[in-house]
Structure 1
């Protein structure tokens, strides 16, 4: 049949076959299996590990996901036929190519970097939330302490004012009681003394024919 295998790498290989005029099916079956020497000589379709269906309009197919440094057997048949020896080829995959290795390493490094970045962002967000919550709580406690101190000071001032007013009223009341006890009728006595003093003063007349004489009749009447 003239099957050939080209562009072999550590993970892929291109299988090429000529079109079969006698194949009237709508697709080709591309079958491949590793460790071909463990297969039976009959090449039964059930013995192959993988089978891919390719439209009959195509004459090539790229086999992927192969294992590096492994011997494979690949066969191409019509849809319902079991492969024969002339429809199969054996090939060996190569080592993992450096480009694929670098790509895998880059993907791994990128995945690690993305995971680390996401974790770092989450940790930063948690720490920031905790700091903001702590600051808000401390500020609220400080405001509550200030309000409590202001109310306490205001209460002390009001208490002192009331106490001072009460003490002053008590002192004045006590002074009044002491004064009344020591001088009962002191107000009347002071009034009489003032009136007596006023009466002792002589009343001067301006008449030329009379001498200056004190008039004490009114004072005696008052007394």
Structure 2
């Protein structure tokens, strides 16, 4: 059939075949398998590991994802028929291309770097959110605590005023029980008001005394 394999590398190979008139309205089947020594001599389709279907308008195909330093057997048939020996070729892949190996390492390093960056950003966002939430909570507790303290102070003042008023009322009740102490309680309660009624009383007493002395003399 005149099948040839060209441009062989560690991972790829190009297969070329002549067009067949019987496949003008059909397709070509490309079957290949590594380690061809393990295959049976009958070249059965079921013995091949991979199969590619190519339109009849094409006469070449690039095999990819091959294993370096491996012996492959390749067969090209019209449709999916079992191949014969003249429709098959054996070829060996080369060592892995240094450029492709370096590209693979770069891609792997880039993937690791991107994954690490995403994880770091996620952890940073979680920590920032936690700190902001904690600060907001402490500030809210502080604001809620201030009105409470003022309320407590007002309550203490009210209690003190109430106790003072109760003490004043108790003193008034005691004075009411003791008539002799009414004037004293009034003086203690309002010293400025107690001075006015005392002075006239003393003057009337003095006048009464003077009148009594004059009557006695007469």
Common topology (TM > 0.5)? yes
Matches within 5 A, 1:68-147: 68-147=68-147
Change in CA separation of 1:169 and 1:81 when aligned onto 2, cut-off 3 Å: closer
2-structure distance, mates of 1:160, 1:10? 98
Structure 1 distance, partners of 2:198, 2:30, is 144
Match of 2:7 in 1: 7
Q: Which residue of 2 aligns with 1:48?
A: 48
> C-alpha root-mean-square deviation of aligned residues, in Å?
3.3
Unaligned stretches of 5+ residues in structure 2: 185-193
> Deviation at 1:48?
1.1
Give SS of 1:61's match: strand
Aligned to 2:115, the other structure's residue is in SS state helix
**Structure possessing the higher radius of gyration over alpha carbons:** 1
Which whole-Å deviations, capped at 9, do the CAs of 1:138-193 have from their partners, x for residues lacking one?
A: 12222232222211111112222222344345556667877834879x99886554
Residues of 2 paired with 1:198 and 1:7: CA distance? 152
Structure 1 residue runs without a partner (length 5+): 202-215
The total of aligned residue pairs comes to 202
1:90 shift after superposition = 0.8
Whether 1:67 and 2:67 are equivalent positions in the alignment is yes
Answer yes or no: is the 8 Å Cα contact 2:176–2:182 preserved in 1: no
In terms of fraction of residues, the more helix-rich structure is 2
Distance 1:189 1:141, change over 3 A: closer
Contact 1:25 1:78 in 2 (8 A): no
Matching residue of 1:29: 29
Deviation at 1:31, TM superposition (A): 0.8
| Secondary structure, counterpart of 1:40 in structure 2 | coil
Tell me how far 1:12 sits from its aligned partner. Answer: 1.1
